[in-house]
């Protein structure tokens, strides 16, 4: 009994001491930004080293998205250095940290990153949960943060948040155009039940677009993310003989669904989201014919800025770039241009420049980008088709 | 309609093949293996690694996956679960620590696979096709049919073995009362290893067949199936082969017809509600033994 | 000061996870393998969020609402699962947790569906969390001394025997569910107020695994175990980013080692070590006393009584 009391008291006093320490402090809940630009001359020169902070998932459930993202940023920074974009003797360093698919880890990475250096801007997470967790931190620190992906509503309500990738909704009209142009009258849709973005896409965004084109949705199936087998629904969909099938499920579910649609006898076009990786599409083999997806970038685009980016990316990394890398390439160039326009590494000046550039819009590898309120990217989108024979993407004819 | 029933039956046999190993281990030697899904996935991952170097016939892929599963399971039993149980002072502590150990083991396997694939999907490069068979207007792929036949065959064989053989008798004895079983000369440790080996074999077998059937899986696919396995086993009754068969098929049929009915978003809610109701009303499930052991 | 500001998120998570861990630890102290804490954590979060966003209550009234609703749901659950024990109770409570997730995801007008709740800008400071953590710890520490503590242990060791000794086992069980709900609801509500948003899948199988690991590896005998587990598993991912891409593997190895080498949890092992040290000292003292053959003085008597008293409780 006495020992219990003693150990209990000991532990309680440790906790109490800790709590008192917290109370004794002023209890600020936000990190104060380190002073930047203290060594800059007023003539608006750039310091020798400009620091950016990147927080993307290098590990966790969708590690491939963050790994690609880091590559897109790295290429942009390298090119800027090679052409001395920000002037001679000015280098940009990116502190890449892992969000680990965990909002707590992402938040810590941001606060530690901010505390450890003079961060001029943040290249933010791609996962909505992480983005929502870190947005207030950047806002309080008054450092601009540019997200990609993270398609959740209500993310960009502050003064310092931006999104450099266009949403799925903005590119889906490309797919609907083709569906209508091909003379479709009925479609069947497969929608994610518990992924909020894809559910909204499938139930709120796409149906009115189809209705406008005079296309009727014969049936809708919804699936939780844990469903792995789709044979029954595929069979019923095939039996309905629709003119097209629209799929807004999460990436790993789509190869199985499409394969089972073909196995059920449906040979028509399937329109999916851009969430499938090339590997997932390859895994479908011959079943991967007549699969289309609207997206903001494809390595199959043969001319213009996208093609140049693809060539440079292949030279640097020996592989084709995906949308995640393309988005962060645009994201990083937006920040670089803002730094140049502001002619300063001060986060607030850069923030103003980001907004100004956003209001103007610019040409990126995602096409001609405009920005809602100067913050949220909209791209015209392109319709891509998968070529199962060559096992590569191609632009839909 | 018949097509849908058959598709639901194939789904049921998928759940059955996955859940059977887990039910066996849980119901006989009392090991609730939280790493069962990870064994399923990692066996498939091992075959993926091999076939990325050289394509193999489908049957070889499945056999290798089954063997990898058995080996992984034996390693887990000898290095972790067996040690935990030997050292444990009471039943409750052993149960808890086996669960925690399983969680850790699963994280290790999933971590390796995620690292290698960057958490992406992977499949097999097989030299065979998966042709669609058609009869009387019903379509089924060769692999689906194989899964169905294999699941049912194993269930029947297992049920007969447990009922008729000495090994099966030993297993049933251990399941009812481990202490007495030991006094009667049953080497519980060897039995546990053997049972886990077979459970792992089944997990790997499921991994191989399912990866071909689904075209690709990803590092977390196994964990998703784990919850379905819980539902099937609880419904059917822990420790009963017939139970896990019925449980798997009921689960699959409910899920399938809810999806076909357009209310797919509630499918797992129904599965969990079933678990909950069964446990409240009849904890031993449809076919489980009445609990003899004091909890 | 800078360190606290830089690590505010894990510090907040330490408190909310501590509360969640207690919601697992307390029933387990009674021998109830209930995993309902996660679902109740979610119920607390959503109730407080709905109160804040829809009824427009202030922060602390909303939090209180979350606590009350979660406690009541916990009690109701306890009544329904009254006859279950062991792994069956675990399964039933897992099912409860998963049902909460699906309800939160599908009852969109109330809960925001799978998009979740937004903009719950509660005014909760870190020092609020600190005080709450201390108060809760003190309350739990009080429950670990005296008659109540012995009765709880009796129920844990053998419920049938305890009942025959006149202990109202079912009352203790229901209380455990009520307390589990209250403390989980508090944790969930505070977490929402501090993070401002939540989604249904935050309370799914992943959180069940985390909470279970925290409670068991820390040690289920005492609130101290819950605290130890919380500190380890809240700060481990932060430190493990150093390990880079092998983060998940290292985490798994640590958990397996804990299951193998700390079968009663880390706190349980610390207690075990203390007990062995005390026994050795006790044995030494007894030899000395026999040799000297004198009356034991007050200090010796007190020491012997203390050790004797402790032995009967372990």
pLDDT digits (tens, 9 = 90+) for C127-146: 999 999 999 999 999 988 88
Q: At a CB cut-off of 8 Å and minimum separation 6, what does A133 contact?
A: A103, A104, A106, A107, C9, C195, C197
With an 8 Å Cβ cutoff, are B10 and A229 in contact? yes
State the Cα–Cα distance between residues B158 and B153, nearest whole angstrom: 8
Are C286 and C256 part of one and the same domain? no
Are C100 and C199 part of one and the same domain? yes
Touching subunits of C (3+ CB pairs, under 8 Å) are: A, B
Give C158 to chain A, closest Cα distance, Å.
21
A4: pLDDT strictly greater than 60:
no
Are C242 and C111 part of one and the same domain? yes
Q: Of B210, B262, B267, which is closest to A220 when you measure between CB atoms?
A: B262
Are C206 and C280 part of one and the same domain? no
Average of per-residue pLDDT values in chain B:
89
Count the domains in chain B.
1
The last residue of one of the domains, among C263, C285, C300, is: C263
B118: pLDDT strictly greater than 50:
yes
Q: What is the pLDDT of residues B182-221, one digit of tens each?
A: 777 777 788 889 999 999 999 999 999 999 999 999 999 9
Instruction: Report yes or no on B189 lying in a domain.
Output: yes
What's the domain range around B36? 19-226
Pairing verdict, β A119-123 and A145-147 = parallel
Instruction: Report yes or no on C27 lying in a domain.
Output: yes
Residue in this structure with the two tokens 């393998």, named with its chain if needed? C33
Contacts of A153 in chain C (CB under 8 A): 115, 118
**Structure token digits, residue B151:** 């699941």
Neighbours of C276 (CB within 10 A): 10
Q: H helices of C30-125, where?
A: 37-53, 59-80, 86-106, 108-111
Neighbours of A39 (CB within 10 A): 11
B215 touches chain A (CB under 8 A): yes
B19: pLDDT strictly greater than 90:
yes
With an 8 Å Cβ cutoff, are C126 and A22 in contact? yes
Give C193 to chain B, closest Cα distance, Å.
28
Give just the sign of the alpha carbon dihedral C66, C70, C73, C75. Answer: negative
Confidence class for position B295, pLDDT limits 50, 70, 90:
very low
Are C149 and C235 part of one and the same domain? yes
Confidence class for position A40, pLDDT limits 50, 70, 90:
very low
Are C180 and C206 part of one and the same domain? yes
Share of chain B above pLDDT 90, in %: 58
State the Cα–Cα distance between residues C214 and C19, nearest whole angstrom: 11
Higher local confidence (pLDDT), A44 or A231: A231
Q: Of A224, A259, A283, which is closest to B267 when you measure between CB atoms?
A: A224
pLDDT at residue A197, rounded to an integer: 86
Are C282 and C258 part of one and the same domain? no
Average of per-residue pLDDT values in chain A:
87
Contacts of C5 in chain A (CB under 8 A): 28-32, 111, 115
Q: At a CB cut-off of 8 Å and minimum separation 6, what does A81 contact?
A: A91, A92
Higher local confidence (pLDDT), A62 or B73: B73
Contacts of C85 in chain B (CB under 8 A): 295
pLDDT at residue A22, rounded to an integer: 38
Contacts of C274 in chain A (CB under 8 A): 3
Q: What is the pTM of this model?
A: 0.86
Instruction: Report yes or no on C268 lying in a domain.
Output: no
Instruction: Report yes or no on B244 lying in a domain.
Output: no
Query: Which residues of A sit within 8 Å Cβ distance of B?
Result: 59-64, 67, 193-194, 219-229, 231-233, 235-236, 239, 251-252, 255-256, 259, 263-265, 277, 279-280, 283-285, 287
Contacts of C94 in chain B (CB under 8 A): 230, 275
Instruction: Report yes or no on B8 lying in a domain.
Output: no
Instruction: Report yes or no on C212 lying in a domain.
Output: yes
Are C152 and C287 part of one and the same domain? no
Is-contact A227 B264, C-beta < 8 A? yes
Instruction: Report yes or no on C22 lying in a domain.
Output: yes
Least confident of A26-40, A256-270, B43-57, B266-280: A26-40
What's the domain range around C39? 2-263
Q: Using CB atoms within 10 Å of the CB of residue C3, give its burial: 0 to 12 exposed, 13 to 18 middle, 19+ buried.
A: exposed
- Searching chain C, which residue's CA lies closest to the CA of residue A63? C245
Give C137 to chain A, closest Cα distance, Å.
7
Q: At a CB cut-off of 8 Å and minimum separation 6, what does B117 contact?
A: B45, B218, B219
Give B79 to chain C, closest Cα distance, Å.
9
Tell me the Ramachandran region of residue C190: left when phi exceeds 0, alpha when psi lies from -120 to 50, beta otherwise: alpha
Find which of C33, C42, C260 to mutate to test the B interface (most B CBs within 10 Å of its CB): C260
State the Cα–Cα distance between residues A150 and A166, nearest whole angstrom: 10
Instruction: Report yes or no on B133 lying in a domain.
Output: yes
Contacts of B88 in chain C (CB under 8 A): 263
State the Cα–Cα distance between residues C10 and C16, nearest whole angstrom: 10
Q: At a CB cut-off of 8 Å and minimum separation 6, what does C268 contact?
A: C219, C220, C221, C225, C262
Are C78 and C38 part of one and the same domain? yes
Touching subunits of B (3+ CB pairs, under 8 Å) are: A, C
Give B117 to chain A, closest Cα distance, Å.
8
Q: Of B7, B255, B267, which is closest to A235 when you measure between CB atoms?
A: B7
With an 8 Å Cβ cutoff, are C199 and A196 in contact? yes
C102 touches chain B (CB under 8 A): yes
Find which of A8, A192, A199 to mutate to test the C interface (most C CBs within 10 Å of its CB): A8
Q: What is the mean pLDDT of residues A241-247?
A: 96
Q: At a CB cut-off of 8 Å and minimum separation 6, what does A314 contact?
A: A320, A321
With an 8 Å Cβ cutoff, are A19 and C9 in contact? no
Are C148 and C287 part of one and the same domain? no
With an 8 Å Cβ cutoff, are C91 and B234 in contact? yes
A6: pLDDT strictly greater than 60:
no
CB within 8 Å of chain C, chain A residues 10-49: 11-12, 15-16, 18-19, 22-23, 25-32
pLDDT at residue C303, rounded to an integer: 64
CB within 8 Å of chain C, chain A residues 141-180: 152-154
Pairing verdict, β A216-223 and A392-395 = unpaired
Are C285 and C139 part of one and the same domain? no
Span between the terminal Cα atoms of chain C, in Å = 41
Q: At a CB cut-off of 8 Å and minimum separation 6, what does A96 contact?
A: A54, A55, A56, A58, A70, A73
Q: What is the pLDDT of residues A333-342, one digit of tens each?
A: 999 999 999 9
Contacts of C199 in chain A (CB under 8 A): 129, 196
| Residue C201's CATH number | 1.10.3470
Least confident of B59-63, B97-101, B233-237: B233-237
Q: What is the pLDDT of residues A91-120, one digit of tens each?
A: 999 999 999 888 888 988 898 889 887 899
- Searching chain A, which residue's CA lies closest to the CA of residue B227? A226
Find which of B97, B115, B118 to mutate to test the C interface (most C CBs within 10 Å of its CB): B97
State the Cα–Cα distance between residues B111 and B38, nearest whole angstrom: 10
Count the domains in chain C.
2
- Searching chain C, which residue's CA lies closest to the CA of residue A22? C127
Q: What single-letter DSSP state applies at residue A85?
A: T
Q: Of A59, A236, A256, which is closest to B215 when you measure between CB atoms?
A: A256
Q: What is the pLDDT of residues B23-36, one digit of tens each?
A: 999 988 889 999 99
Is-contact A136 A145, C-beta < 8 A? no
Q: What is the mean pLDDT of residues B81-96?
A: 86
Find which of C197, C201, C230 to mutate to test the A interface (most A CBs within 10 Å of its CB): C197
State the Cα–Cα distance between residues C130 and A18, nearest whole angstrom: 8
With an 8 Å Cβ cutoff, are C244 and A58 in contact? yes
Confidence class for position A43, pLDDT limits 50, 70, 90:
very low
With an 8 Å Cβ cutoff, are B115 and A283 in contact? no
Give B164 to chain A, closest Cα distance, Å.
36
Give just the sign of the alpha carbon dihedral C194, C195, C197, C203. Answer: negative
Q: What is the mean pLDDT of residues A230-237?
A: 94
Q: What is the mean pLDDT of residues A8-29?
A: 40
With an 8 Å Cβ cutoff, are C5 and A111 in contact? yes
Which mean pLDDT values do the consecutive 10-residue runs of chain C (314 residues) have? 75 95 94 94 96 92 96 96 87 93 91 84 89 95 86 82 84 94 97 89 90 92 94 83 79 92 91 89 67 57 58 40
Are C259 and C300 part of one and the same domain? no
Give A221 to chain B, closest Cα distance, Å.
5
Q: What single-letter DSSP state applies at residue A227?
A: -
> Which of B13, B289, B295 is CA-nearest to residue B144?
B13
């Amino acid at each position: 009994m006495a020992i219990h009391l003693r150990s209990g008291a000991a532990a309680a006093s440790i906790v109490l001491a800790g709590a008192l320490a917290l109370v004794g402090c002023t209890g600020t809940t936000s990190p104060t930004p380190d002073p930047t630009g203290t060594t800059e001359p007023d003539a608006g020169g750039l310091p020798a080293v400009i620091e950016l902070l990147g927080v993307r998932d290098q590990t966790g459930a969708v590690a491939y998205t963050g790994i690609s993202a880091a590559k897109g940023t790295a290429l942009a920074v390298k090119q800027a250095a090679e052409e001395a974009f920000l002037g001679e003797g000015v280098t940009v360093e990116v502190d890449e940290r892992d969000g680990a698919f965990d909002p707590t880890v992402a938040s810590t990475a941001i606060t530690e990153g901010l505390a450890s250096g003079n961060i001029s801007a943040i290249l933010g997470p791609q996962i909505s949960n992480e983005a929502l967790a870190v947005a207030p931190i950047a806002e309080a620190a008054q450092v601009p943060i540019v997200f990609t992906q993270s398609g959740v509503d209500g993310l960009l309500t502050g003064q310092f948040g931006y999104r450099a990738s266009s949403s799925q909704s903005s590119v889906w009209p490309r797919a609907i155009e083709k569906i209508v142009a091909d003379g479709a009258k009925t479609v069947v849709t497969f929608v994610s039940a518990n992924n909020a973005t894809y559910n909204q896409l499938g139930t709120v965004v796409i149906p009115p677009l189809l209705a406008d084109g005079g296309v009727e949705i014969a049936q809708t199936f919804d699936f939780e993310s844990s469903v792995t087998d789709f044979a029954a629904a595929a069979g019923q969909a095939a039996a309905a003989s629709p003119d097209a099938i629209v799929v807004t499920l999460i990436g790993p579910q789509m190869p199985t669904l499409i394969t089972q649609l073909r196995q059920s006898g449906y040979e028509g076009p399937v329109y999916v989201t851009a969430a499938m990786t090339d590997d997932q599409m390859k895994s479908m083999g011959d079943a991967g014919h007549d699969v289309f997806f609207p997206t903001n970038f494809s390595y199959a685009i043969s001319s213009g800025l996208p093609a140049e980016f693809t060539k440079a990316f292949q030279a640097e990394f020996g592989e084709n770039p995906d949308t995640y890398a393309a988005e962060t390439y645009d994201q990083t160039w937006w920040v670089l241009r803002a730094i140049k326009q502001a002619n300063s590494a001060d986060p607030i000046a850069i923030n103003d420049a980001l907004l100004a550039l956003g209001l103007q819009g610019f040409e990126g590898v995602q096409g001609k980008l405009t920005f809602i309120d100067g913050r949220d990217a909209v791209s015209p989108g392109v319709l891509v088709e998968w070529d199962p024979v060559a096992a590569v993407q191609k632009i839909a004819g | 309609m018949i097509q849908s029933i058959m598709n639901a039956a194939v789904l049921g046999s998928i759940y059955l093949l996955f859940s059977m190993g887990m039910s066996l281990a849980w119901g006989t030697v009392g090991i609730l293996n939280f790493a069962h899904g990870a064994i399923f996935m990692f066996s498939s991952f091992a075959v993926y690694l091999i076939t990325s170097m050289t394509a193999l016939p489908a049957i070889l892929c499945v056999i290798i996956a089954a063997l990898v599963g058995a080996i992984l399971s034996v390693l887990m039993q000898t290095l972790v679960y067996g040690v935990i149980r030997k050292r444990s002072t009471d039943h409750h502590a052993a149960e808890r620590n086996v669960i925690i150990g399983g969680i850790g083991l699963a994280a290790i396997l999933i971590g390796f696979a995620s690292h290698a694939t960057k958490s992406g999907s992977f499949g097999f490069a097989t030299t065979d096709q998966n042709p669609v068979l058609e009869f009387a207007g019903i379509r089924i792929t060769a692999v689906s049919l194989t899964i169905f036949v294999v699941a049912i065959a194993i269930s029947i064989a297992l049920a007969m073995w447990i009922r008729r053989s000495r090994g099966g008798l030993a297993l049933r004895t251990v399941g009812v009362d481990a202490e007495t079983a030991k006094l009667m000369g049953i080497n519980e440790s060897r039995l546990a290893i053997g049972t886990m080996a077979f459970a792992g074999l089944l997990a790997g077998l499921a991994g191989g067949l399912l990866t071909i059937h689904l075209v690709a899986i990803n590092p977390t696919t196994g964990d998703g199936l784990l919850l379905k396995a819980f539902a099937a086993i609880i419904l059917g009754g822990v420790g009963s082969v017939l139970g896990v068969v019925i449980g798997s098929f009921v689960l699959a049929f409910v899920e399938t017809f809810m999806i076909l009915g357009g209310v797919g978003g509630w499918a797992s809610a129904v599965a969990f509600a079933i678990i909950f109701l069964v446990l409240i009303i009849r904890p031993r499930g449809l076919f489980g033994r009445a609990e003899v052991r004091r909890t | 000061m800078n360190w606290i500001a830089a690590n505010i998120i894990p510090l907040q998570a330490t408190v909310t996870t501590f509360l969640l861990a207690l919601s697992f630890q307390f029933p387990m102290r009674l021998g109830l393998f209930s995993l309902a804490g996660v679902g109740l954590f979610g119920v607390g979060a959503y109730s407080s969020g709905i109160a804040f966003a829809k009824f427009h209550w202030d922060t602390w009234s909303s939090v209180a609402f979350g606590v009350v609703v979660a406690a009541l749901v916990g009690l109701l659950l306890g009544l329904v699962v009254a006859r279950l024990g062991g792994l069956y109770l675990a399964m039933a409570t897992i099912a409860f947790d998963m049902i909460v997730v699906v309800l939160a995801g599908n009852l969109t007008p109330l809960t925001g569906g799978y998009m979740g709740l937004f903009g719950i800008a509660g005014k909760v400071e870190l020092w609020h969390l600190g005080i709450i953590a201390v108060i809760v710890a003190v309350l739990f520490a009080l429950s670990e001394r005296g008659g109540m503590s012995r009765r709880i242990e009796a129920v844990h060791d053998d419920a049938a025997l305890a009942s025959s000794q006149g202990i109202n086992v079912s009352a203790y069980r229901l209380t455990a569910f009520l307390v589990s709900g209250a403390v989980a609801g508090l944790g969930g509500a505070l977490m929402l107020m501090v993070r401002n948003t939540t989604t249904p899948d935050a309370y799914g199988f992943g959180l069940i695994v985390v909470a279970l690991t925290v409670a068991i590896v820390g040690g289920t005998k005492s609130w101290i175990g819950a605290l130890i587990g919380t500190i380890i598993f809240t700060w481990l991912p932060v430190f493990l980013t150093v390990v880079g891409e092998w983060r998940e593997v290292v985490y798994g190895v640590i958990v397996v080692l804990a299951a193998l080498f700390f079968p009663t949890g880390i706190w349980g092992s610390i207690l075990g070590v203390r007990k062995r040290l005390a026994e050795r000292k006790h044995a030494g003292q007894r030899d000395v006393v026999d040799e000297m053959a004198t009356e034991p003085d007050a200090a010796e008597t007190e020491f012997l009584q203390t050790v004797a008293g402790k032995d009967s409780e372990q």
